[in-house]
Amino acid sequence: EVAAGTCICGRAVAPYVKDITCLDLTEAMLEQGKKLAKQEGIQNISFVSGNAECLPFEDETFDLVITRLSLHHFVEPEKPFREMQRVLKKGGKLVIWDMVATTEELRETNDAIETMRDKSHTRILSREEFEALFEDAFELQLEETTLVPVNLQSWMDLTSTPEDIQKDIIDKMEYDLNGGDKTGFNPYIKEGQICFDHRWLLLIGKKEN
């Protein structure tokens, strides 16, 4: 798993594979992943500190490469994608699960709010941009969009968003709700709280060359 954080996907996949390697640049995330793997009794897992843009592995090392919610953090998502392609064996599977842009006209506004909440965010890719990454070397076997319900306050709390920025985001969402400028989040009220649906795209490709 590339840019694995605490290796959520890797830990889920571990019972179904011989071994799993989780790579992330942040040591604290890897340490948390190790603790969780130990609690879950997972023994076929290893943790590696490294940069997704320059993976410390030989060509065609892995049968399966996974990354979740990572590409929107990269200024040039092509770089980690090509690295994942490089370390994947021919015939192996690449799985990408990430946010996907809703509409092109609201993409800039959407990205701006995402960046307010998380400074490491750069840009949400469109479906067409994801497809273009795969087209040269992969047979795209699955492409599936899922709407993930998100509570706005919980979403901001997850990244410890400062209170003044939280207020700005809430103001934008409320203005959208009341018929003002659209945010691209399509907010709604549920149980008295602002919520929205994150649009996630799952892609699975088989490496052909």
Would you state the structure tokens that stand for residue 122, as one six-digit string? 């750069």
Q: What angle do CA 135, 141, 146 make, to 5 degrees?
A: 100
The stretch 34-56 carries a mean pLDDT of: 97
Domain boundaries, the chain: 51-207
Q: Is the pLDDT of residue 9 over 90?
A: yes
How do residues 102-151 score in pLDDT, each as one tens digit? 878 888 999 999 999 999 999 999 999 999 999 989 999 999 999 999 99
Write down the mean pLDDT value for the chain. 95
Q: How far apart are CA 116 and CA 157, in angstroms?
A: 13
**Alpha helices by DSSP H, the chain:** 8-13, 27-39, 78-87, 107-117, 127-135, 152-158, 163-177
Superfamily of domain 51-207: Vaccinia Virus protein VP39 (3.40.50.150)
Give Cβ neighbours of residue 66 (< 8 Å, ≥ 6 apart): 1, 2, 9, 10, 13, 94, 95, 96, 97
Percentage with pLDDT > 90 across the chain: 94
pTM of the model: 0.91
Q: Give me the pLDDT at residue 26, please.
A: 94
45-54 burial, b at 16+ Cβ within 10 Å, e below that, comes to: bebeebebbe
Q: Is the pLDDT of residue 187 over 80?
A: yes
Count of CB atoms situated within 10 Å of the CB of 21: 19
Using N-to-C axis directions, what is the helix angle for 163-177 and 107-117, rounded to 10°? 150
Q: How far apart are CA 4 and CA 35, in angstroms?
A: 14
Per-residue pLDDT band at 209 (split at 50, 70, 90):
confident
Q: How far apart are CA 152 and CA 169, in angstroms?
A: 9
Q: Is the pLDDT of residue 194 over 80?
A: yes
Which residue is associated with the tokens 């490089």?
86
Burial class of 172 by CB neighbour count within 10 A (0 to 12, 13 to 18, 19+):
buried
